[in-house]
Amino acid sequence: MKFWFTKGVWQSKRAAKTIGSISRETVKSIAVIRHAALGDMVLTRSFLVEARRAFPNASITLSLVSNYTRGAPVDLVDRVHIVHGSGTKDVSIAGKIRNFRELGYHDLVFDLATTNKSLFTCVLNPALMKIGFPYRGLQARLFYDVAVCRSDLNFEVCDMLNMLHVFGVKTAYPHEYSMPGEALKRDRPYMIYFAGASTQVKCWPAGHFSELIRIMAAGYPDHDHLVLEGIQHWEKADAIMQPLADTANAGVVQADTIEETTALIKGADLVVANDTGIRHVAIVAETPTVGLFFSDPYRYWPRYDIHDVAMPAVDGPTEVETAHAACIGVLAKTGVRGRDA
């Protein structure tokens, strides 16, 4: 095997000496470290699909953190390693070190997180080669044998897959996620609107959602326009639905599990959401999306036709008209046309 790059990737002297002694067929074990929440977790599916294809004889271990296991792609791996996360403060330092070391030896270790815990996991376990995508050059030299570039201007899945590209792996585009589950069947076609996010700062105003849904419900009267509620108090639908009391095809829907959420999203013709895990679930479910961003959308914007983002001219809430135009554009590309089309 050889490295398939000339510039833009850092490699250690050890990596340069090692690469010629291995092949994809001789790699027997891979560890993928992904300590992240739901949205980042489900995007990892594409990396695991491609890694399985690229290294056909390797078992794959996925390292998670205990407080972020929802949506973990355990169906794509052979073993799961879980490190202590928040809520385990009673564990001694020695116990935490033992926990990190439970990952064990692997031929290749891919760190898809570059957090404090992922770096400890990487350092405390031996490997033939360790690959990462840190933002800082010093981290590359301290923790990895190979480090690819990472930028907020790239869709993060592309940056993750670059860790496979250095080995000459040809990956699919659009990306493959193999998300399990069947689409929900309803009497009428529908679109989903999710107003929540990890913090209120990332949430589009409720009044903007109300206005967008009112316009979309009139423009696409044959669809139900459903607000998906989240679990936080700022993710409830009351403030959005109050101005829509007279809109017959607008409503509220709930999904309690990741399986229910996936089925709901897979059955939708469009998902409109803030920068949040629900939108990422829609991406891996191959459902068209419009993301509502206050700034910096590129890291979570797959650049193919069924996905778009609505961006403000400067930092702040995107205008309703901008979001509406993005919705119409995506729906037209997927063959869903409204009353005025």
Q: Is 341's pLDDT higher than 60?
A: no
List, in sequence order, every residue forming a beta bridge with 12; answer none if it has no partner. Answer: none
What's the pLDDT at 230? 83
Mean of all residue pLDDT scores within the chain:
94
List, in sequence order, every residue forming a beta bridge with 307; answer none if it has no partner. Answer: 289
User: Left (φ > 0), alpha (ψ -120 to 50) or beta: where does 216 sit?
Assistant: alpha
pLDDT tens profile 56-87: 999 999 999 998 999 999 999 999 999 998 77
- Residue 199: pLDDT band with limits 50, 70, 90: confident
Whole-number percent of the chain with pLDDT over 70: 99
Edge-to-edge strand list for the sheet holding 250-253: 250-253, 224-228, 190-194, 271-274, 289-292, 307-310
Domains 10-165 and 190-333 share a fold: yes
Cα 97 → chain centroid: 28
What's the pLDDT at 88? 74
Tokens of 149: 């570039």
What's the pLDDT at 201? 82
Q: Is 265's pLDDT higher than 70?
A: yes
Q: Is 340's pLDDT higher than 80?
A: no
List, in sequence order, every residue forming a beta bridge with 132; answer none if it has no partner. Answer: 111, 147
Residues 199 and 121: their CA atoms lie apart, in Å, by 28
Q: What is the CATH number of domain 190-333?
A: 3.40.50.2000
Model pTM score = 0.94
What's the pLDDT at 313? 83
What's the pLDDT at 227? 97
pLDDT tens profile 237-248: 899 999 999 999
The CATH homologous superfamily to which domain 10-165 belongs is Glycogen Phosphorylase B; (3.40.50.2000)
pLDDT tens profile 293-315: 988 899 999 999 999 999 998 87
Crossing angle of the two packed helices 258-266 and 277-284, in degrees rounded to 10: 60
- For the chain, the C-alpha Rg in angstroms (whole number) is 22
What's the pLDDT at 115? 94
Crossing angle of the two packed helices 206-219 and 320-333, in degrees rounded to 10: 40
pLDDT tens profile 139-178: 999 999 999 999 999 999 999 999 999 999 999 999 999 9
Domain boundaries, the chain: 10-165, 190-333
Edge-to-edge strand list for the sheet holding 146-147: 10-11, 146-147, 127-132, 106-111, 29-33, 59-65, 79-83
Sequence-distant contacts of 145-149: CB under 8 A, at least 24 apart: 145/11, 145/12, 145/14, 145/15, 145/18, 146/3, 146/9, 146/10, 146/11, 146/12, 146/15, 147/9, 147/10, 147/11, 148/8, 148/9, 149/8, 149/9
Tokens of 37: 């929440």
Decide: 110 and 132 in contact? Cβ < 8 Å: yes
